[in-house]
Structure 1
Amino acid sequence: MSTAAEQQFEFKTEIKELLHLIVHTLYTHKEIFLRELLSNASDALSKVQFEALTNDNLYDKDQPLEIKVTLDEENKTLTVEDTGIGMSRDELIKHIGTIAHSGTKRFIKELKENQEKAANPELIGQFGVGFYSVFMVADKVTIDTKSFDAETPAIKWESDGLGSYTILESERRKRGTAITLHLKEEENEFVQKFRVESLIKQYSNFLPFPVLIGEDTINTPEALWRKSKSEIKEEEYKEFYKTATNAWDEPMFWEHFTADAPVQFTSVLYVPKSAPYEYYNQDLEHGLKLYVKRVFIQDDCKELVPKFMRFLKGVVESEDLPLNVSRETIQSNAVIQKINKIITKKFLDALTKMAEKEEEKYLEFWKQFGRYIKEGVHGEFNLREKLLPLLRFHSTKQTENPVVTLKSYAEHKVTDQKAIYYAVGESLDQLRRSPHLEFFTRNDIEVLLVTEPMDDLILNSLEPFEELKFINVESGDLELPEELKKEIEEPEVPETMTQLKDKVREVLQDKITNVRFSKALTDSPCRFYNEQGGMSHNVRRMMFAGPSAMAAAPLKRDLELNPEHQFVKALSGRLETESINDQIKLLYHMASLLEGSVDDAQELASLVLPLLR
């Protein structure tokens, strides 16, 4: 039916198909329709604000620039009304009746494929379909609009989203646009004030114009991150942290920076007081809040930072991302990838400056988040140059805080030292008593002390630092300075000692591969070492653990004996006694105990009990 004042139009074929798919495809976040309507309203206000700069004849120019949301529980309607630029009849048909994008048919095809695969895409907003999301919750929609041009008549648009729409003249006198949704029976939640308020705060809290329900302004038009740093008080940063992250405590510190090239964005990044409890849970929600032109897009956008920086909290807003960016397109978006690189560089630069200028503050950070930096060293090869100076270690030459850097270690090396030496153990106390350190302590060579398996994996994989290799003190080849090599060369020993070595190899053939004498040890009778070098035994054992053929085979050890120790000397004189086998087994267990572990507790107990009797 058509009259001079009222005309009915059919949606184009692709629009009909698209509407059907949107309404009948399962969306987890159907409430995004409100974000779309508020974003459109904000855009309309921005346009009329710009128009007012040059147009003295702007219609209804004294109206406040605002968005009103009206909820009618009795009639089950939700209305979003703005005082923006409005639309003419032609503009209404252009913006609502068509989708001006060459990729529309491809988009529909992809949406169908997702539906067939039972996928659950967040595709609202692509190719201008944001408005059509209203039909997921409404069975009738009315648009009442009056243009900024006084001579342009007001127009009303109505549709049930099933294939056609009606345009007729409107009696509206106010400039702007009101969109009224007649909600479906099951969508009562969208006329509940508390629910709509929470959605406004979640998705549209920082729109630049007030969003009102009744007389109450729901949003916060001034986004903190958009203000100049000089205008923001410390307490405001702290309060925003609590609001943005639902935290109860204050942050450790924060960084507020903007970028203009190659992409434009602004961000406030917070480091929490303490690290997340579940560090090893890689599926734990993490990431930064992403906004586009003040509109909330995603809560935990992992793509904004590399994985090892997942402890960061905060907000990133970009002007260069399309407002209709969906969660599926974020990961592959080139702008997001550029933002990631800039954030990473700026944050690591800030950490580097802190480490150089504010040591105590950086050590506080390191104690909580050092393992994340190590993870970055291990997994982000292209960032190693920036990350290596941020590493901190305990060492044999300091007893409290981990303040040793690779650079300071290199500065303290002895003459002709060719390596950075490190020891791996379960605790600092156990490491400081380790037989592996006896030679290094005697020769005043610093050794880094590390207590996490990750440390060994990282140090074992690093390229030389200032021409110094990384060598575990368990290694069979320590590459020592020439004048010290003689100290640990296998010495000439009496025949009884040679026989003892053969006997040890025989008795422990299931547990050891090599046996050697060395003068590296001072106080201890023995120690395990790694003939082939590389990672520590404990880390190797962890890597080979599991239901594999390699894990089923025992990992044999290499055993080093101190020929000057009284117990070893005594053993060499008891080769013919009945208890020699048990005493050699006890020697093996002694090496385990000195390493801080127990290889076979029951066997050890059976060997010790006769001695107690």
Structure 2
Amino acid sequence: MPAETLEFKAELKQLLRLITHSLYSDREIFLRELISNASDAVNKVRFDALANADKLEGNTDWKIKIAPDKEAKTLTISDNGIGMTRQEVIDHLGTVAQSGTRAFLEAAKASAQGAGPGLIGQFGVGFYSAFMVADTVTVVTRGPGTPADGTKWVSDGQGAFTVEAVEKPGRGTDVILHLKEDAAEFLDPWKLRSLVRKFSDFIEHPVVMDEVTEKDGEKTTTEETLNSRKAVWLRNKAEVKPDEYAEFYKQISHDSDPPLTTIHYAAEGNTEFKVLCFVPAKKPFSFDWEEPKAGLRLYVQRVLIMERCEEVLPFYLRFVKGVVDSADLPLNVSREILQQNPILTTIQKSVVKNVLDALAGMKNVEFEKYREFYAGLGPVLKEGLTRDFMNREKIADLLLFESANTPAGQLTTLAEYVEKMPEGQTDIFYLIGEDVEPLRRSPYLEAFRAKGQDVLLLSDPIDEFALPQLGEYKGKKLHAADRGAAPTADDIPADVKEQFAPLVAAFKATLPETADVRLTKRLTESAAVLVAEEHGTSAHMERLMERMGRGEGKGKRVLELNPDHPAVQAARELHSKSADDPRVAVYARLFHEQAVIAEGSKVADPTALAARVNELIARDAAR
């Protein structure tokens, strides 16, 4: 098949332009990315061979080879991994779908100047980092079980690439970098050794380079292994330095920052396994766009069996990265066997306990670091309230909240809330909305403030689902401040109810969209408020469901009136003098519409609301 020239997709052109012209500092990370890709390719063919040994083709001398050629000014990184077919080369090296390029570009623009190179691996575009040091990149590859013909891919990173068939006798991939004039340092064996030890020392496969020695006029070539290949998780914790942990974390997570905390331990007894996992310091750039996956790398006696084993880490802890190595699982373990294996249940319980304990320790000892972590990943942690019933209270202890009684920006915990509850308060109150600042001014808080009671203010979309699942904390029930009869309300005197009964009946007749109209002691400053019944759907939940395309129309809520408010009293007086006065219906509408606005919803007819307000202004001005 003749050579074929194809165009890069538009976003990929932007990426290559950015890499070539802007992300120029710290460009040595290209070697880390290419070695990491080669290691993944070897792991892939080893795993596939567990079910199909023919894929090995007798080629099991696993290694990644670096070959600098000073005369040709090329640097080649080779592996005997899974390789690629012609179509896979086109799909993986020429299109956006496989690379996360668009998200990378957005994050690079949003990041600080010079922070870009650290994002490259995180966004799955590590291969393209080669263009930071190379004018042209050539890839020669062949997959397992294919004819001797391989595929050659060549590009200068300017917008197009060529693909053609070539002869390649062995399975695997060669990435050949034709280095730029100012990148000659990467042909220096000493430089390459130092970079491998810096970035890839923990790669489990040997990273090798030919070393030429001369003795008595004779040259001898031997293969030198550049990486120590010491699996960090198998070493004694006391022997591992913090920077070694940090580099291993960056290698497996592609995060550019060191982790918040490291969890490293060995479990012994009936079930033996080793765990090394990391909690990120903050939410990674790629977290919101990448496909959400949970799980740790699963090794069986140092052989990688699964890249993401969901059975050892629940979904709500998907931000945790790391490895678990079991000596008790078989090497040919399948996903079906994993789902039924009690060893995995034991490992998961152990990992979850240690992660939650580590987070609790961080919260108690280094609160500011924990707070930065929580700002980005707290909503994900809250998912555990709906999924992990066994650890629900442990998760609840990790949650941070703003509240009505805390200054803006300060955070409290459920334990602190309970400790500060005034005598006589039996429930924990919370209020949910889109943003905390409007919640601080909400009329729902008025009666609670009057009694010195605090209300937790929540603004994460998950809160509507998670907090009700928690139900109670330390024997205290959680109660939404905008649902049901006000738990802080005093009984309204019978004579007051009697005085307002005709007005309440008139408002009910005027407002069929309400479930009820009643008096309340929930309010001290506002005239009216809308509340959901105890087990009804709140306005905020309705808005969330509508955004998700699952809205089923607005439910009916209760309009509560403050009998002590001058406006409500004026409406009562008007109705008592003339029950047929058309202004009574106008006032009913205005009380309802102001309550709709106060709850954060939109009024059904803003034009009609404006007309009613203008009519009042004109009438008042004419007096």
TM-score range, shorter chain: 0.5 to 0.7
User: How big is the shift at 1:514?
Assistant: 0.9
Q: CA RMSD in A?
A: 4.0
User: How big is the shift at 1:445?
Assistant: 0.9
Match in the other structure for 2:234: 226
User: How big is the shift at 1:343?
Assistant: 0.7
Match in the other structure for 1:190: 171
CA deviations on 1:589-612 (whole Å, 9 max, x unpaired) are 111122222232344334334446
Match in the other structure for 1:431: 439
2:370 counterpart of 1:366: no
Alignment of 1:342-491 (within 5 A): 342-401=350-409, 403-480=411-488, 485=489, 487-489=490-492
SS of the counterpart of 1:573?
helix
Alignment of 1:179-578 (within 5 A): 188=169, 190=171, 192-194=173-175, 206-207=203-204, 215-217=223-225, 220-276=228-284, 283-401=291-409, 403-480=411-488, 485=489, 487-489=490-492, 492-493=495-496, 497-509=500-512, 511-533=513-535, 536-540=538-542, 542-543=544-545, 552=552, 554-575=554-575, 576-578=580-582
SS of the counterpart of 1:381?
coil
Alignment of 1:13-52 (within 5 A): 32-33=44-45
User: How big is the shift at 1:421?
Assistant: 1.2
2:593 counterpart of 1:589: yes
SS of the counterpart of 1:258?
strand
Amino acid at match of 2:444: H
Amino acid at match of 1:264: E
User: How big is the shift at 1:292?
Assistant: 2.3
User: How big is the shift at 1:585?
Assistant: 0.9
User: How big is the shift at 1:294?
Assistant: 2.0
8 Å CA contact retained: 2:593, 2:609: yes
Q: Distance in 2 between matches of 1:545 and 1:36?
A: 42
Q: Distance in 1 between matches of 2:593 and 2:286?
A: 35
Q: Distance in 2 between matches of 1:607 and 1:512?
A: 20
User: How big is the shift at 1:300?
Assistant: 2.4
The percent of aligned pairs where both chains have the same amino acid is: 32
TM-score calculated relative to the size of structure 1? 0.63
Amino acid at match of 1:590: Q
Q: Distance in 2 between matches of 1:278 and 1:221?
A: 28
CA deviations on 1:376-405 (whole Å, 9 max, x unpaired) are 012111111322222222212212445322
Match in the other structure for 1:124: none
8 Å CA contact retained: 1:435, 1:527: yes
Q: Distance in 2 between matches of 1:251 and 1:221?
A: 22
CA deviations on 1:175-201 (whole Å, 9 max, x unpaired) are xxxxxxxxxx98756265449xxxxx9
Moved more, 232-241 or 600-609: 600-609
8 Å CA contact retained: 1:472, 1:535: no
User: How big is the shift at 1:588?
Assistant: 0.6
Match in the other structure for 1:107: none
Q: Distance in 2 between matches of 1:363 and 1:395?
A: 16
Q: Distance in 2 between matches of 1:204 and 1:328?
A: 34
Q: Distance in 1 between matches of 2:452 and 2:432?
A: 19
Alignment of 1:31-110 (within 5 A): 32-33=44-45
8 Å CA contact retained: 2:385, 2:469: no
User: How big is the shift at 1:306?
Assistant: 0.5
User: How big is the shift at 1:261?
Assistant: 3.2
CA deviations on 1:268-327 (whole Å, 9 max, x unpaired) are 212223325676779424432222222222222222201100011122222222223345
CA deviations on 1:23-78 (whole Å, 9 max, x unpaired) are xxxxx98985557999xxxxxxxxxxxxxxxxxxxxxxxxxxx978999xxxxxx9
Q: Distance in 2 between matches of 1:403 and 1:299?
A: 37
Q: Distance in 1 between matches of 2:49 and 2:544?
A: 55
- Summarize the Cα distance change of 1:569–1:241 in structure 2 as closer, same or farther, 3 Å threshold: same
Q: Distance in 2 between matches of 1:403 and 1:474?
A: 22
Q: Distance in 1 between matches of 2:255 and 2:549?
A: 42
Structure 2: stretches of 5+ with no match in the other structure:
1-39, 51-60, 67-77, 81-142, 149-165, 177-196, 211-221, 619-623
8 Å CA contact retained: 1:423, 1:431: yes
8 Å CA contact retained: 2:144, 2:171: no
Q: Distance in 1 between matches of 2:560 and 2:146?
A: 76
8 Å CA contact retained: 1:67, 1:210: no
Match in the other structure for 1:170: none
Give the number of equivalent residue pairs: 446
Amino acid at match of 1:330: L
8 Å CA contact retained: 2:294, 2:314: no
TM-score calculated relative to the size of structure 2? 0.62
- Summarize the Cα distance change of 1:346–1:138 in structure 2 as closer, same or farther, 3 Å threshold: farther
Moved more, 578-587 or 433-442: 578-587
Structure 1: stretches of 5+ with no match in the other structure:
1-27, 39-65, 72-77, 81-133, 140-184, 196-200
CA deviations on 1:90-133 (whole Å, 9 max, x unpaired) are xxxxxxxxxxxxxxxxxxxxxxxxxxxxxxxxxxxxxxxxxxxx
User: How big is the shift at 1:219?
Assistant: 5.3
Q: Distance in 2 between matches of 1:311 and 1:560?
A: 44
Amino acid at match of 2:593: H
CA deviations on 1:329-355 (whole Å, 9 max, x unpaired) are 433333333222211111111122222
Amino acid at match of 2:609: L
Q: Distance in 2 between matches of 1:272 and 1:523?
A: 45
SS of the counterpart of 2:282?
coil
8 Å CA contact retained: 1:471, 1:534: no
Q: Distance in 2 between matches of 1:583 and 1:329?
A: 68
User: How big is the shift at 1:516?
Assistant: 0.9
- Summarize the Cα distance change of 1:37–1:547 in structure 2 as closer, same or farther, 3 Å threshold: closer
Amino acid at match of 2:317: M
